[in-house]
């Protein structure tokens, strides 16, 4: 087994558990104990939220790297290569390192069943523990309290945002979802909440856990000016911050995590990070003639942010959109219906993928295609004729399909 390629390992672990998702910490925690991992020199930072997790992890990682620190970052999902999920100092680890981790986990787990994501999480922890790292930055996959990332105690817990998503797993109310996501906090440790209009259950749950809660618009705030933005919290104030390429809401939360954890960031260091950091698939222009922008907006909250970004273009682009059938695609399309001059919907040929014809019922006029590639090819012809940009969005799978064919 240890001689298998990464692709063979991934195929193998996909078949080791009957369910793609099984929330709960008991099984993977048993394996974690056997791994006897070594924690980082400074802190483990765990990030949960409906939107903004990836941006938050990217900014934290960039800040630590720029500050001369060593950081391991675990994120999901990936676009083109599995290795994107496990990175050290921003660089995805090599196939052979991941394969070795899988081999160790396979030997130690015995008869314990693990899901695909649990294998991934344990591999990341094992790989990071073998390095001399200062920080681990870990992105929750689904929810928080029962997600496998939460089997490791966080020194700093961050909740970026909360909206109705994955209701089958997390509950059908914002109050309940807030409990699940804030469940990553630990007694006497920081819980940073970047949630706008937070449910009261964040505070009550933090109190029950015994976490040290710092909330946006309560313990810290930010304001935006024409050419800069500012941040204030506790006795700290930054008056001239550069605009990041990523959402300012998430940037403000990152500053809070750094300030309240006594990292003592400076304005110069923050600006250096904001000017450098980027993240694949977050309103990212990757091609010209015509301009092509990719974005992984796949729920109403993200769609609202995407609509704001599209409005700044000054023209109504062409949409190439594919979504999963268990997402609130009707609300996403409704929010963005006036943002685009034309809609080109694509079938997503993956588990839970929605048909283009299903999506097209929610906006008119629109065209349907059997793949992202076909939808984009048709949209590109019109974009060149009309001198309009194209925005490819709707799911990680949509963006990944586009990148695979056009990278």
Q: Mean pLDDT over residues 40-56, rounded?
A: 96
Residue 1 within a domain: no
**pLDDT at residue 218 tops 60:** yes
Same domain, residue pair 214 and 316: no
- The reported pTM is 0.91
311 has a pLDDT exceeding 90: yes
Residue 66 lies in a domain: yes
Q: What is the CATH number of the domain that holds 364?
A: 3.90.190.20
Dmax over CA atoms of the chain, in Å, equals 61
- Looking at residues 234-252, what average pLDDT do you find? 95
Cis peptide before 47 (omega within 30 of 0): no
Quick one: pLDDT band at residue 1, thresholds 50, 70, 90? very low
Residue 34: pLDDT band with limits 50, 70, 90: very high
Helices (H), 37-94: 53-66
Question: pLDDT category, 212, cuts 50, 70, 90?
Answer: very high
User: Of 276, 297, 325, which residue constitutes the final position of a domain?
Assistant: 276
First-to-last alpha carbon distance for the chain, in angstroms, is: 32
Residues 267 and 289 in one domain: no
Query: Is residue 91 domain-shared with residue 72, that is, in the same domain?
Result: yes
Among residues 256, 276, 296, the one where a domain terminates is: 276
Q: Is residue 218 a contact partner of residue 199, using CB atoms and an 8 Å limit?
A: no
**To the nearest whole number, what is the mean pLDDT of the chain?**
93
pLDDT of 331 over the 90 cut: yes
By the 8 A CB rule, do 241 and 230 touch? Answer: yes
Task: Among 245, 276, 307, give the residue marking a domain's end.
Answer: 276
Residues 128 and 231 in one domain: yes
Give the number of domains in the chain: 2
**Does 135 share its domain with 180?**
yes
Angstrom distance (rounded) from CA 333 to CA 338: 9
Report yes or no on 116 lying in a domain. Answer: yes
- In a domain, residue 163? The reply is yes
**Are residues 209 and 80 both part of a single domain?**
yes
Q: Does residue 392 form part of some domain?
A: yes
Q: By mean pLDDT, which of 81-85, 163-167, 218-222, 225-229 is the weakest?
A: 163-167
Q: How far apart are CA 349 and CA 355, in angstroms?
A: 8
Is the pLDDT at 216 greater than 70? The verdict is yes
Task: Tell whether 53 and 119 lie within a shared domain.
Answer: yes
Give the helix/strand (H/E) hosting 210. none
Token output for 78? 């990936």
Domain that holds residue 337: 284-406
Q: Is residue 393 part of a domain?
A: yes
Close Cβ partners of 205 (under 8 Å, ≥ 6 residues apart): 178, 179, 182, 183, 185
Q: Are residues 189 and 222 in the same domain?
A: yes
What is residue 352's predicted lDDT score, i.e. its pLDDT?
A: 85
pLDDT at residue 327 above 60? Answer: yes
Three-class DSSP category at 69: coil
Cβ atoms within 10 Å, residue 396:
17
316 and 256, same domain (yes or no)? no
CATH number reported for the structural domain that contains residue 160 in this entry = 3.40.1190.10
């Amino acid at each position: 087994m240890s001689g298998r390629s990464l692709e063979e390992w991934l195929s193998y672990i996909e078949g080791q558990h009957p369910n793609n998702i099984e929330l709960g910490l008991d099984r993977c925690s048993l394996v974690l104990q056997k791994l006897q991992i070594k924690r980082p020199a400074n802190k483990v930072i765990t990030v949960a939220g409906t939107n903004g997790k990836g941006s938050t992890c990217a900014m934290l990682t960039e800040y630590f790297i720029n500050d001369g620190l060593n950081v391991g970052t675990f994120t999901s999902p990936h676009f083109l290569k599995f290795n994107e999920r496990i990175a050290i100092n921003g660089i995805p680890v090599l196939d052979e390192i991941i394969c070795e981790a899988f081999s160790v986990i396979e030997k130690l787990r015995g008869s314990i069943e693990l899901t695909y994501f649990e294998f991934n999480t344990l591999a990341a922890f094992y790989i990071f523990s073998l390095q001399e790292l200062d920080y681990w930055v870990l992105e929750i996959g689904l929810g928080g309290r029962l997600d496998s990332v939460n089997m490791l105690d966080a020194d700093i817990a961050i909740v970026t945002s909360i909206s109705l998503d994955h209701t089958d797993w997390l509950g059908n109310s914002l109050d309940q979802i807030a409990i699940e996501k804030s469940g990553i906090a630990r007694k006497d440790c920081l819980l940073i909440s970047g949630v706008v209009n937070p449910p009261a259950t964040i505070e009550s749950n933090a109190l029950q856990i015994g976490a040290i809660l710092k909330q946006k618009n309560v313990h810290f705030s930010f304001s935006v000016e024409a050419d800069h933005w500012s941040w204030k919290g506790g006795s700290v104030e930054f008056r001239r911050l550069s605009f990041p390429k990523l959402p300012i809401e998430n940037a403000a939360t990152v500053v809070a995590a750094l300030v309240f954890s006594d990292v003592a960031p400076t304005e110069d260091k923050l600006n250096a990070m904001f000017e450098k950091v980027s993240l694949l698939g977050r309103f990212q222009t990757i091609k010209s003639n015509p301009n092509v922008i990719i974005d992984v907006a796949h729920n109403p909250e993200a769609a609202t942010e995407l609509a704001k970004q599209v409005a700044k273009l000054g023209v109504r682009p062409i949409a190439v959109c594919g979504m999963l059938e268990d997402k609130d695609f009707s609300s996403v399309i409704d929010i963005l219906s006036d943002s685009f001059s034309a809609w080109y919907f694509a079938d997503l040929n993956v588990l839970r993928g929605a048909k283009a014809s299903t999506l097209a019922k929610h906006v008119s006029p629109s065209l349907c295609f059997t793949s992202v590639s076909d939808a984009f090819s048709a949209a590109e012809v019109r974009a060149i004729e009309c001198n309009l940009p194209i925005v490819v969005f709707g799911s990680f799978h949509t963006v990944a399909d586009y990148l695979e064919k056009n990278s």
